[in-house]
Amino acid sequence: MELEVSSGPRGLLPTAVILIAIFSLAVVSRRPPEPKQATVPASEFSAGRARAVLRRLVGDGVPHPAGSAANDVVRDRILAEFSTLGYQAQVQTGFACDDYGTCASAKNILARLDGTEPGPAVLLASHYDSVPAGPGASDDGAGVAAVLEIARALKSGPTPRHSVIFLIDDAEEDGMIGARVFVDQSPWAKEVRAAVNLEARGTSGPSLMFETGTANYWALQIYSKFAKRPASNSIFYEAYKQLPNDTDFTVFKAAGYQGLNFAFIGGVNQYHTPLDNFENSSPRSLQHHGENALPMVLAFANGDIANPPHTEGVFFDVFERHIILWPAKWTLPIAIFALVLLYFQIGWLMAKGRLHPAALLWGAVNWLAILVTTGVLALILHEVLRTVGVTPANWPSHSLPLQAAFWALAVTVVIVLSLAFAARTGFWGLWAGGWLWWTLLSVVVAWLSHGVSFILLVPSCVAVVVGLFFTLRRSNSLRGLWLVAALPLFAAGIIGFTSLLFLYDGLGVRLLAGTALVVAILFTPACPLLGSLRSSKGLARFALPGTTIAVAILAIFAAVVVPPYSAKSPERVNLQYRQDTDSGKSQWVVYPDSERLPESIRVATSFHRDDRGMFPWETKSAFVADSPHLAMAPPTLTILESSALNGKHQYRVLLRSERGAPDAMVFFPPDSGLAGVRIQDQPMPPELSRVRSFLNGWEVYDCPTMPAKGIEISFELPAGKPVEVYALDRTYGLPLEGMFLLKSRQFTATPSGAGDVTIISRRVQLNP
């Protein structure tokens, strides 16, 4: 056993070199393709041509939320682009509500390229509205420009078999209302069987395929065959399903459409801010969007899309060059087979006297100790960094030192504990103990979540297959033994590194401790090689752990000294003017993402922290200061009709903004007994408990495209129980009196989402 341990250093250097090369490939593969110039053939997607369209659409940098005059301008520009391409585009107008109490009007843009056969159609979709705080050049101007460039390219080639419908919808930022209007009200919607949706949750990075319909395996087969740079894996899909996020594809999927959903997520600090402008929108990301969407639309339009099989798949890309895909139902049997094969090899090693039970036990303890130690140290580091202000928000300006610190921490733990346990385990003890955990977890994860399973299953399969060549050989020769550890380690790196790098873009600082844990797991195949360092002499024994410890310390130091925010990656700080008409109270309110008031704003006036807020549904702390009372008309909630029946009191009311605000809403208190809500005669589902939990149990119904005449709301309440509701309206921007606050917001801070707003409220007593 001691002889086998001493063989490791011979293979440690080539293993490290190859592993570094794999990591480098993972980093390089995240760079989207070079943008193609406008001179490429007409049948190809050109980011150069699409960027020219994008500049014409949103180059002025003006935010254009749904219902605004600026959005009307962008819509007219898109219609003009379609007309130039020879399409007869139309505007579909409708009103719809989502499942969270938001109702709005939408004006969708529709065009189509008729196919050679009647029947099912393919949908290519994006949205053209932006949030109030930003011009939306990437979210989703890049998607719109890509749709228009694809519409041009399709015109230049042979007519496809199936019709292609182009949908550039409205009010996506307000509950995917435009997609709902299309699905529920357009006659074309009934033709659609497959959809390709283009989105963005940032301004750069590769175009990731992160969601499919229920015919998952079918769609992935097409994607793997036709995409030039496939960037996807089933972990993204599983992670996305756990997030409280939706896109238009959510609506399409609920309508039974199959297909693919694409988005790029780099540059998240600029997302939904004024920095989501033309200058920051990546031409490479736009090119990748087009190279994903164009071949997919063509493949769907020329394929059989009538009745695809509803089968799940497990998949991952290899450096964005190829997709590995298999049916999800294979996963658990493969995992069980790998576990059985490993048990056979362990039994053989024991029978031949090359592995003792105690060594196996200590090898298993080593693997578990690595996870526990890494998890505890990572949580401690995460808390320390948060306390000293290194991670005041989920995506600090400079993420590289942070990620390096947690990766180095995990690798250090693997090295140190492997050295500590090697004397008790030997080479085969560390190998068998580690892969015993891997294969067991593969079975458990395959049973619980097929989509996540590959990150454990593939290295486990490589380990047991490679292990056959060495565990079953007759001699105790050490020749090539390092490959038993190295090859599955390479497999873990190939499939794991890319996923980890993207998970930070997707989930940010909140996942750093979890990232360290996964890094530790991915490096545990190296334990048998690392344990062999015990046989090294002098400084050679401590060189590797010393290096990783030094990297961790330097990375932590860099994370501490670099500023958390910059002009390119600013902190999100929203400002509000609030006025409660009933009490006459007015306030300036500041919502910093870090929950720490910037010094430049602190000195502007007398702010204090408020954890309760002006309104009873507020759960987020803010900083408030008294402000002057301004003459602004409050919204009205007028009772148009009231009647009692069977112990219930039925109301029909008119919610209206008297000052012409674009957004108005009404809040009902918890346990009010509210039921039967209809808005503009559309029935509303009961609000989800998850939604009410964010509002202290209050229920809200909101119209972000409030018409001048107001909207009608019908509902019923229990008879004999007085209920006090709140009516609010909201305009974007502060009154002139708030100009001093706008000037105090430093260049490393920016509004986001709805941005700076003016809110006027009043209470209305209902006495059923």
- pLDDT computed for residue 240 by the predictor: 78
The band of 243, judged by pLDDT with boundaries at 50, 70 and 90, is: low
Number of Cβ within 10 Å of residue 172's Cβ equals: 28
- pLDDT computed for residue 393 by the predictor: 86
The band of 244, judged by pLDDT with boundaries at 50, 70 and 90, is: low
Angle, helices 400-448/450-471, rounded to nearest 10 degrees: 90
- What pTM value is reported for the model? 0.94
**Is the pLDDT assigned to residue 537 strictly greater than 80?**
no
Of residues 751 and 612, more confidence is placed in: 751
Q: What is the pLDDT of residues 336-365, one digit of tens each?
A: 999 999 999 999 999 988 999 999 999 999
The band of 540, judged by pLDDT with boundaries at 50, 70 and 90, is: low
Q: What is the pLDDT of residues 72-104, one digit of tens each?
A: 999 999 999 999 999 999 999 999 999 899 999
Q: Point out the least confidently predicted range of 171-175, 443-447, 708-712, 719-723.
A: 719-723
CA dist 163 and 151 (Å) reads: 12
> Is 47-319's fold the same as 570-768's?
no
| Cα 694–chain centre separation | 20
- pLDDT computed for residue 472 by the predictor: 85
The token pair that represents 505 in the structure block:
């873009």
CA dist 242 and 237 (Å) reads: 9
The residue ranges of every structural domain in the chain are 47-319, 332-561, 570-768
| Three-point CA angle 613, 619, 622, nearest 5° | 50
- What's the CATH superfamily of 47-319? Zn peptidases (3.40.630.10)
Percent of the chain clearing pLDDT 90 (strictly above)? 85
The token pair that represents 153 in the structure block:
């390219």
- pLDDT computed for residue 3 by the predictor: 35
For domain 570-768, the CATH architecture is: Sandwich (2.60)
Q: What is the pLDDT of residues 615-668, one digit of tens each?
A: 999 988 999 999 999 999 999 999 999 999 888 999 999 999 999 999 999 999
* Amino acid identity for residue 140 in this structure: D
CA dist 439 and 459 (Å) reads: 9
Top-ranked range on mean pLDDT: pick from 228-242, 464-478, 658-672: 658-672
- pLDDT computed for residue 612 by the predictor: 82
**Is the pLDDT assigned to residue 245 strictly greater than 80?**
no
- pLDDT computed for residue 6 by the predictor: 43
CA-CA-CA-CA dihedral for 242, 245, 251, 256, to nearest 10: -20
* pLDDT average, residue stretch 415-422: 94
Of residues 613 and 43, more confidence is placed in: 43
| Three-point CA angle 368, 369, 373, nearest 5° | 125
